[in-house]
Amino acid sequence: MLNIVLLEPEIPANTGNIGRTCVATNTRLHLIEPLGFRLDEKALRRAGMDYWKDLDVTTYIDYQDFLDKNPGAKIYMATTKAEKVYTDVAYEEDCYIMFGKESAGIPEEILVENQENCVRIPMVGEIRSLNLGNSVAIMLYEALRQNQFAGMNLEGHLHRLEWNK
């Protein structure tokens, strides 16, 4: 099972959307405090819809608490400062993909300590970053693809409609 880690997320709608994506992909969500909202906030519930109750979510008091409770975890860190592109790495089926808060990303001191595991999503121009929910979806689905979408529905079925004559 893959893991998404949000370090100090600030916007409840982003976290709600990410929670919904995690439920749809059987991915664990890890939230590292401080959060910019309360977990019972209306905007979070609205974005996560009725899926939030099915989410496998763990909260941590800080980054060190997260590390202490997940020893030996393989953590990839999403940042615009990385030299490698997110498609350049092979995601293990139980790895962690970490994203920083919307206003500042992952702190530089954490990135420097983990430089070999930093990855970026390519963009043109001087745009600061993509939306957090979009970034999570892009990288999570690449990791799922590399793991052959294990346990996921791979085909849909259209229903044939009969038209009245």
What DSSP assignment string belongs to 97-135?
Answer: EEE-BTTTBS-HHHHHHTGGGEEE---STT-----HHHH
Is 8 domain-assigned?
yes
| Of residues 94, 1, 19, the one with CA closest to residue 57 | 19
* pLDDT score, position 62: 98
Question: What confidence category does residue 28 fall into, taking pLDDT thresholds of 50, 70 and 90?
Answer: very high
How many separate domains does the chain show? 1
CATH of the domain at 33: 3.40.1280.10
Annotated binding site for S-adenosyl-L-methionine: 100, 121, 129
Residue 72 φ/ψ region, left for φ over 0, alpha for ψ in the -120 to 50 degree band, beta for the rest: left
Q: What is the pLDDT of residues 153-164, one digit of tens each?
A: 888 888 876 665
Is 161 domain-assigned?
no
pLDDT > 70? residue 91: yes
The pTM of this model reads 0.91
- Segments forming the whole domain that contains residue 75: 3-146
Q: What is the pLDDT of residues 44-88, one digit of tens each?
A: 666 556 787 899 999 999 999 999 999 999 999 999 999 999 999
Annotated binding site: 100, 121, 129
Q: 66 near 5, Cβ under 8 Å?
A: yes
Is 164 domain-assigned?
no
Going by their DSSP bridges, the two strands 57-60 and 28-32 should be labelled as parallel
Is 160 domain-assigned?
no
